[in-house]
A and B are shown apart, each in its own frame.
Chain A
Amino acid sequence: MSSDHADDIRNFCIIAHIDHGKSTLADRLLQATNTVDARDMVEQVLDSMDLERERGITIKAQAVRMSYTAADGQVYQLNLIDTPGHVDFSYEVSRSLAACEGALLIVDATQGIQAQTLANVYLAMGHDLEIIPVVNKIDLDIAEPERVSLEVQQAFGFNADEVHMVSAKSGQGIDELLQSIVDRVPSPKGESDSPLRALIFDSKYDPYKGVVAYVRVLDGEVSSRGKIRVMSADKESEILEVGYFQPGPTKSTSLKRGEVGYVATGLKSVGDAPVGDTLTMAARPASEPLTGYETLKPMVFAGLYPADGEEYLALREALEKLQLNDAALTFTPESSLALGTGFRCGFLGLLHMDIVQERLEREYDVDLLATSPSVAYNILLTDGSEIEIESPAKLPQPQRIEDYREPWLDLSIITPAAYIGPIMELVQTRRGIFNKMEYLQYGNSIVGAGDGGDARVLLEYEVPLAEVLMDFYDQLKAKTSGYASMDYSFSGYRSGDLVKLDILVAGEPVDALSIMIHRSEAARQGRALVDKLKELIPRQMFEVPIQAAIGNRIIARENIRALRKNVLAKCYGGDVSRKRKLLEKQAEGKKRMKRVGTVEIPQEAFLSILKVER
């Protein structure tokens, strides 16, 4: 029989739509198992990054080990992985799933099933996980636990007694849930006597310990001594430390079959121990690695430039360091006439982009200028070859282009039926294709109240990513009083009637302002951009025309009239310092502007494209 305790281990993750209470539920589990002292307890204790705490969202999955004494007196090792809910970070969910045998599916009792609930359930089913449905927030007055429970039963085929009713806030139902985890989540399988195979499901760079791989041991055992080998990356290194999280890192002598923990490898780059790879012992290696993950492909690209051109190297260093902990981030050097030298960066989505920007500015103290985000295009050239373009500025001459292909998404939206009309309209203006509409039902009745308008509907569309990027989510929320939720996944490239829209300031094209756009939208968008820039670019000492053009054809134009007067009227009482400070401020403002030809363009102008109303 096995020399380990795998039978007493339960590995599970917590999945849900954003904000349904995963991290709060984790808090209660940590408390109920005495993993965290009452005096160390804070809300969403696993959200340890400043950004997570400020925004109240989970960005990175977190693994933590708990010790639980079940009703029969048996002590179990529970390994919990809390996951992020936002669609940008769904890859974190996928990875976590691969390290578990079970999943707690949290559904907010005030909201019911939302788009990411569905998406996450499908992922969990794909990994063959035991799913334990949990209806949360039952303490709230507006909660409808019964209705939501029925919805969950119907949608995913559970029996009423399988659905847990809890309040992650008050702790109600937590003990029963823990018992269920022990009873229902299978113990880990695998071979304890085989050579080590541990799946790297996450990693982090630590300046003292090198790459710290977060692993789930499938077969064998990893001890705190010896040489580790990263199988696919083919790297070896002396182990510095092994341990687990409680939730702080806790050293141990080994990690055995079925256990979740970390291995400090001393490796210098996360690329040496990539997420999805398999760790084995160099002395007694396994023959086959585990099936890893699909490598992540960034979906959204934007130029990141140092606001102060002299900070280029600092930015590069910051990106390199950040990438150590964020494998989804890509960057390649890029230069722009308007913005100087910077990087074309790839992100999973706009939230990811936003977070990267904020971390760079905050943790690495670089002042950034980000260009308007775009998708990657697949361009078929007239000579038959294909190229991938991550920036509109990099497009070849139109005569060399045979076909433009852009990324499309499968988009699902869950909404009360009353908003179907406005959503259909919205998706249509975004070139979306309607696929399917389905009422979320249970028995013979439709979920929601009887009057039809409250019934909830799943809508499925195909839509170009570029159309969803900007303000689609905001619009969706606005048009449905916040009731609709959405989820999407990349489906493939399709050809589209796209054009490159250039912006010329004082006759000079500003490369960083070029965008790709569907031909039917070009005129409207060109006008909107020109108007917006007119608002944002301060008057200069001469008249400045602003034009939008497709190729040589100008499709919109505005003039910024010349600045006529700018002089401080008065200096009173000898307060020269005050006057000087005003001028210093003006000079400082100018320094932060970007010069295109003779025109000073404020940094906001480069972001304005993001905010142009459609």
Chain B
Amino acid sequence: MFSAPSIALYIHIPFCETKCPYCDFNTYSQIEPLMPGYVVALIREIELWGDLLNHPTVRTVFFGGGTPSYLPSQDISQIMQSANRSFKIETEAEVTLESNPGDFTSDKLTTYLESGINRLSIGVQTFDDQLLGVLGRRHTAQDAVDAYRMAQDAGFDNISIDLMYGLPDQTLEGWKSTLKKALELQPPHISMYCLTLEEGTPFEAWVRLGKMSDPNPDLAADMYEATQDTMRDAGYRHYEISNWALEGLESRHNLIYWRTEPYIGVGPGAHSYLGDTRFANLKQPREYISRLTNAADGKFDLDNVNLDDLKMIIDIVPVVDTTEHIDRRLAMAETLMMGLRLDDGISIPDFNARFNQTPNEAYESIIADLTNLGLLKTSNDRLFLTPRGRILGNEVFSRFFE
């Protein structure tokens, strides 16, 4: 049996009520009729993985999307039941669900709690109603506050909110006031993302065609720096480039990504990382559903499968679309790329234990260069970014891919 260590489980929900014009996630609006079939297919994929990996321990579960809160809460509950049948979800596991502020009702929240969801991530984005309009969001700033309170009242104490800065025509003052309103809620965790113009999105086209003002990168830098100060004063730990948390309330699921530890992603377009292989599911929900539904009525014949062989395991899953072999060299670079995003960076002994080489041995001149440039620092057996290195992270990470 391929011995899967304890893993993280990502569950993709590819539905949104409307598609936001800046978003390039694998998510769709106007395909709600697929929801029931989708839940059936998703459960099949979960159970298949459970069998293939012999029901491994799961440390964290993350419902992402898309908008998981847009799915009927009974469906979430069913999916969680199947996850519990298929995996050994630790009792202390972090189980997060991404949500939009407008979607909550107290019944829904109760169902979530009963299904085992213990952390909510709310897509607030900004407390500026006008900018919410620009972003194509359907909620108001007040809706966001109400949603937050409702979640608290329902019994959620681990809540994260997502904010965006560097938005078109957003001022530094405007951003500070959004940040202030966010802090008034005293959330245990805040993710703050700078808007990136993703290829193929309406935002990118509007900017290219001059219909929308190009976000100013220097202003975004000002916002980021202001954010760091404000958050420090408010007692948050800036534990990852875009993430702040009260001590001990960091996102454990995302930490698994940043530490390049194994995870399984289910649903269309979801990515997985097991052993030395990363693979991704096909992206089309319709195709995803049909492949899982048609496959022998959902019964997979595992008798002739050598479950010691990861490649064979992956081949069984009818929705895996691409696989990528991550060799040692690539794994080292990726470990740095991901790990250096964290405030405490990389543990040199851990790195050495995993790759039989310290980062310095593997990238001597590059690390020396980056250290000289004041972007990287080594101390107490750890390698991490300086404050300047954090804001110029890509200048550091890209060096490991030369």
Contact = CB atoms under 8 A, between A and B. Distances in A.
Most buried by A among B191, B194, B398: B398
Interface string B241-272: 11000000000000001001001010001111
A429 to B, nearest CB: 33
A279 B66 CA distance: 79
Contacts of B334: 576, 580
A579 B341 CA distance: 13
B337 A564 contact: no
A547 to B, nearest CB: 23
B394 A569 contact: no
A540 B25 CA distance: 31
Contacts of B402: 587, 590-591
Nearest to B263: A574
Given A572-B25, A575-B280, A565 B398 contact: no
A570 B220 contact: no
Contact of B196 (A568, A573, A577, A580): A568
Contacts of A579: 337
Contact of B393 (A567, A570, A575, A580): A567
B398 A577 contact: no
B10 interface: yes
Interface residues of B, number: 47
A568 B394 contact: yes
B162 to A, nearest CB: 9
Query: Main SS of the interface on chain A?
Result: loop
Interface in A362-392: none
A583 B217 contact: no
Contacts of A565: 194, 217-218, 220-221, 224, 391-392
Contact of B193 (A564, A570, A574, A577): A570
Given A541-B373, A573-B271, A575-B271, A566 B395 contact: yes
Nearest to A579: B337
Most buried by A among B64, B257, B273: B257
B35 interface: no
A574 B265 contact: yes
Contacts of B381: none
Contacts of B393: 566-568
B237 interface: no
A586 interface: yes
Interface string A395-410: 0000000000000000
A576 B401 contact: no
Contacts of A584: 398, 401
A587 B12 contact: no
A563 interface: yes
A574 B272 CA distance: 7
A571 interface: yes
A568 B191 CA distance: 13
A573 B397 contact: no
A178 to B, nearest CB: 57
Contacts of B391: 564-567
A571 B194 contact: no
Contact of B271 (A541, A564, A570, A576): A576
B172 interface: no
A568 B393 CA distance: 8
Interface residues of A, number: 26
A580 B271 contact: no
B390 interface: yes
Contact of B194 (A569, A572, A583): A569
A574 B257 contact: yes
A328 to B, nearest CB: 40
B297 interface: no
B401 A583 contact: yes
B324 interface: yes
A573 B10 contact: yes
Contacts of B272: 574
Contact of B324 (A567, A577, A586): A577
B218 A564 contact: yes
A574 B64 CA distance: 11
Interface in A567-614: 567-577, 579-580, 582-584, 586-587, 590-591
A564 B216 CA distance: 11
B392 A587 contact: no
Contacts of A566: 391-395
Contacts of A563: 392, 395
A316 to B, nearest CB: 26
Contacts of A580: 330, 333-334, 337, 401
B337 to A, nearest CB: 6
A564 B221 contact: yes
A569 B242 contact: yes
A576 B336 CA distance: 12
Contacts of B348: none
Contacts of B375: 541
A577 B194 contact: no
Contacts of B39: none
Nearest to B402: A587
A571 B340 CA distance: 13
A418 B385 CA distance: 68
Contacts of A582: 394
B314 to A, nearest CB: 15
Contacts of B263: 574
Nearest to B260: A576
B88 interface: no
B128 to A, nearest CB: 19
Contacts of A564: 217-218, 221, 391-392
A561 B191 CA distance: 29
Contacts of A567: 241, 390-394
Given A563-B392, A576-B278, A583-B337, 20 more contacts: A564-B217, A564-B218, A565-B392, A566-B392, A566-B395, A567-B241, A567-B394, A568-B196, A569-B242, A571-B338, A572-B64, A573-B10, A573-B25, A573-B265, A573-B271, A574-B265, A575-B271, A579-B337, A583-B394, A590-B402
List the 9 closest pairs (A to B, CB-CB), nearest first: A567-B393, A564-B221, A565-B221, A569-B193, A586-B398, A574-B271, A587-B401, A583-B398, A587-B398
15 contacts: A564-B392, A565-B217, A565-B391, A566-B392, A568-B196, A569-B194, A573-B269, A574-B263, A576-B278, A577-B271, A579-B337, A580-B337, A583-B400, A586-B398, A586-B401
Interface of B: 10, 12, 25, 64, 191, 193-196, 217-218, 220-221, 224, 241-242, 257, 260, 263, 265, 269-273, 278, 280, 324, 330, 333-334, 337-338, 373, 375, 390-395, 397-402
